[in-house]
């Protein structure tokens, strides 16, 4: 595979633009918190379970603090006040705070205030260490049973019933899947709470809950030991509970999370301020827990034309990379997304798709990358559909993708059956085996169609980054530059959950993750 197409200086310029584009967003992040971030803090302290009417306790407590106008000090601060009121457990702390008239809780003397914060910081350090110990158990299993070579074959299960999902996941792993993804129930990203416990009903997927994560992780650990090959688990950290789900996933030792800087804004109409703040805290957790994030640029070329909008994928990847690095994620954790989505009836589509995938690899040489299969132009002709997927398998191995979601020949007809998954796995395994090393055997002409297309797309991506740099990210999103979807800064769902921090705002977990403690 060519190492050229674009120069190192051009790539460095794109990264510089992305850093400067995101600087104002980080000013916003530094000054604000959200109800989801504060609920995550409480979960980390061990607040769990639901109240009498089924509402999660973290929601009850944060809603109470927000209604009283004191959430701007941070949920951790009020958790500490409850401990000083004599609370004997996280649950007792919630009960005391929800029962007490918060207006009567005036400021503490400076000495007591400092002691409260020191005590809460000590508890936070202990909880961070417990999370790290849990992650170490996952990593020990990975070392004991090494994963297969990349591209890691990524397969979806999504019955709505977590116990049925387990059966399908085991079958997929036995047939060669390296990554199991449990798709969330339709529209869960719009719920401003995380459902509690194991779930057996869901439309278009299975609810993302901490208990569901635990059940699937336990099953895949068992399968990994049986197969003597580690099987990875992924879910979705997006929407109004992005940071909470990141914590639940980290605690239950997941390997990957769908986590994007702009997906919720563009495709779920979630307020952009809320999304940017939540994604930062969620990515801090992913960085600490060694979770690989998968970004959502592949979605841009399902709502926009893949040929015309290829440059928006590259521009967004640079922006997503910058957000990720600023949150502490390393290159090996960046499953930057792209997809094999050009209309198959265009001429030379294999060359075009190779060009795009090679360009992404050129720009992000150390990232695993996540490659999505054809979906937009799938047909009910299963034989053509299967051939279409096999072309994506070829591009994945040729361009050294790290994570490849496998296409299904029945994608356009119904939720794929186990047999459909088996066919997809068998074909991908064959292509990966047969074509491994092809990138080292063939040199791409620097004056050919692949290289010229890559240079053209990169040039357009730079133009888009220059526009974002000149006018700002908010303006670019407002003009529909990404995915042909337009959103306003104060529009969408969840803005009422954004809270400006008080001067004495307290979040010991953020202090620890940012290295300030």
256-258 and 403-405 strand pairing? unpaired
Please identify which of the residues 221, 260, 298, 393 carries the catalytic annotation. Answer: 298
Please identify which of the residues 193, 263, 340, 371 carries the catalytic annotation. Answer: 263
Long-range Cβ contact pairs of 123-127 (< 8 A, separation 24 or more): 123/45, 124/44, 124/45, 124/76, 124/508, 124/509, 124/511, 124/512, 125/508, 125/512, 125/517, 127/44, 127/45, 127/46, 127/509
* Burial (CB count within 10 angstroms: exposed 0-12, middle 13-18, buried 19+), residue 499: buried
Tokens of 228: 């003597």
SS3 405: strand
Q: Which residues of 131-160 are buried (b: 16+ CB within 10 A; e: fewer)?
A: beeebeebeebeeebeebebbbbbbbbbbb
* Residue 516 CB neighbours (<10 A): 8
Comparing CA positions, the residue from 76, 112, 120, 26 lying closest to residue 324 is 26
Based on its alpha-carbon atoms, the radius of gyration of the chain, rounded to whole angstroms, reads 23
Rounded distance between C-alpha atoms, residue 325 and residue 336, angstroms: 13
Rounded distance between C-alpha atoms, residue 422 and residue 171, angstroms: 9
Comparing CA positions, the residue from 42, 71, 8 lying closest to residue 500 is 71
Rounded distance between C-alpha atoms, residue 205 and residue 168, angstroms: 13
Active site residue 263: yes
Cβ within 8 Å of residue 101, ≥6 positions away:
none
334-335 and 337-339 strand pairing? unpaired
**63 in Cβ contact with 496 (< 8 Å):** no
Rounded distance between C-alpha atoms, residue 338 and residue 301, angstroms: 9
Tokens of 270: 């979630």
Whether cis (ω within 30° of 0) applies to the bond prior to 363 is no
**424 in Cβ contact with 173 (< 8 Å):** no
Comparing CA positions, the residue from 168, 181, 175 lying closest to residue 213 is 181
- Active-site residue set: 263, 298, 370
């Amino acid at each position: 595979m060519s190492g050229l197409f674009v120069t190192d200086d051009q790539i460095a310029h794109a990264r510089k633009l992305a850093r400067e584009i995101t600087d104002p967003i980080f000013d916003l992040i530094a000054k604000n918190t959200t109800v989801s971030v504060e609920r995550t803090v409480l979960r980390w302290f061990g607040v769990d379970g639901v109240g009498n009417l089924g509402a999660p306790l973290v929601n009850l407590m944060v809603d109470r603090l927000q209604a009283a106008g004191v959430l701007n000090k941070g949920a951790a601060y009020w958790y500490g006040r409850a401990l000083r009121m004599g609370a004997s457990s996280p649950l007792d702390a919630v009960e005391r705070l929800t029962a007490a008239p918060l207006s009567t809780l005036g400021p503490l003397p400076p000495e007591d205030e400092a002691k409260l914060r020191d005590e809460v910081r000590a508890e936070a350090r202990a909880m961070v260490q417990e999370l790290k110990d849990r992650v170490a158990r996952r990593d020990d299993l990975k070392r004991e049973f090494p994963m297969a070579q990349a591209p890691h074959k990524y397969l979806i299960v999504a019955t709505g019933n977590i116990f049925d999902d387990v059966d399908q996941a085991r079958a997929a792993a036995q047939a060669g899947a390296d990554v199991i993804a449990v798709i969330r129930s339709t529209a869960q990203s719009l719920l401003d709470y995380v459902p509690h416990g194991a779930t057996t009903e869901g439309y278009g997927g299975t609810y993302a809950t901490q208990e569901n994560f635990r059940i699937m992780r336990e099953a895949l650990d068992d399968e990994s030991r049986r197969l003597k090959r580690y099987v990875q688990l992924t879910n979705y950290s997006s929407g109004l509970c992005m940071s909470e789900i990141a914590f639940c996933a980290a605690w239950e030792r997941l390997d990957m999370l769908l986590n994007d800087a702009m997906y919720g804004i563009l495709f779920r109409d979630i307020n952009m301020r809320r999304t940017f703040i939540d994604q930062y805290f969620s990515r801090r957790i992913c960085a600490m827990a060694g979770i690989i994030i998968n970004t959502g640029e592949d979605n841009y070329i399902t709502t926009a034309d893949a040929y015309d909008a290829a440059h928006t994928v590259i521009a967004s990847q640079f922006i997503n990379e910058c957000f990720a690095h600023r949150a502490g994620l390393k290159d090996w954790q960046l499953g930057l997304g792209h997809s094999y989505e050009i209309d198959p009836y265009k001429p030379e589509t294999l060359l075009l798709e190779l060009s795009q995938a090679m360009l992404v690899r050129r720009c992000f040489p150390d990232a695993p990358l996540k490659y999505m299969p054809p979906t937009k132009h799938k047909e009910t002709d299963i034989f053509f559909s299967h051939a279409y997927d096999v072309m994506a398998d070829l591009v994945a191995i040729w361009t050294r993708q790290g994570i490849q979601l496998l296409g299904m020949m029945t994608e356009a007809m119904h939720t794929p059956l186990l047999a459909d998954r088996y066919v997809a796995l068998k074909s991908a395994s064959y292509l990966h085996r047969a074509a491994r090393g092809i990138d080292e055997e063939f040199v791409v002409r620097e004056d050919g169609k692949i290289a010229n297309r890559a240079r053209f797309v990169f040039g357009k991506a730079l133009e888009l980054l220059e526009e974002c740099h000149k006018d700002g990210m908010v303006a670019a999103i407002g003009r529909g530059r990404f995915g042909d979807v337009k959103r306003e800064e104060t529009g969408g769902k969840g803005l009422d959950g954004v809270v400006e921090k008080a001067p004495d705002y307290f979040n010991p977990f953020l202090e620890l993750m940012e290295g300030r403690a």
